[in-house]
Amino acid sequence: MTMLWRALRHPRMQLYAFDSREGLRREMARSTWGWLAFLAVAGTVLYGATLPRVSAPRLLGATGLSWCLFGPALVGVTHRRISTCAHACLVTMAYGIGILAVGAGINLLLDPGPLFNALWVGLSNAVMGSALVRQLATLGVPPWRTIAAWVVALDGPGALLFLALGGLQ
């Protein structure tokens, strides 16, 4: 749990250490990635369950598939290890899920409607994109590369998959 806390509290420093030390990569993968993956899935399901007329599996399917496309694209664009990019993405998702968890609470209490939810998902997306750019910049990856991969390989396919799976019906 301590490693998880450090990864979320000091993500740039943690990613730099993670990228440069093999022993830390193995330890982090064992102790932290499971928790981060759990947060990503559980948070997405929770948020999806609070959306009117939108099922959690639809949202989980679209986001899960788009992250699977994004991972290899990010490795290709950044020329970093798969494990480094995976770690950065998992930490990034945790920040986005934090935003979505607040949105889920607002949905349950106020039922604000689709415009709020579209804006809230946009806020989560902006926070995640910013977090990933900052983490990878620590390793010398130019921000434009991260942003280009984010928009082309994550946001675009994510939106298309969400619509293909039924969208806001």
From residue 152, alpha-carbon distances to 10, 67, 98, 149 in Å are 27, 12, 24, 5
Q: How far apart are CA 77 and CA 94, in angstroms?
A: 22
Position 9 scores a pLDDT of 85
Position 7 scores a pLDDT of 79
Q: How far apart are CA 124 and CA 96, in angstroms?
A: 5
Low-confidence ranges of the chain (pLDDT < 70): 1, 54-55, 167-169
Position 106 scores a pLDDT of 97
Position 54 scores a pLDDT of 63
Closest CA to 140 of 77, 73, 78, 74: 78
Position 82 scores a pLDDT of 92
Mean pLDDT for the chain overall: 89
Q: How far apart are CA 163 and CA 97, in angstroms?
A: 21
Would you say 36 and 90 are in contact if contact means Cβ atoms under 8 Å apart?
yes
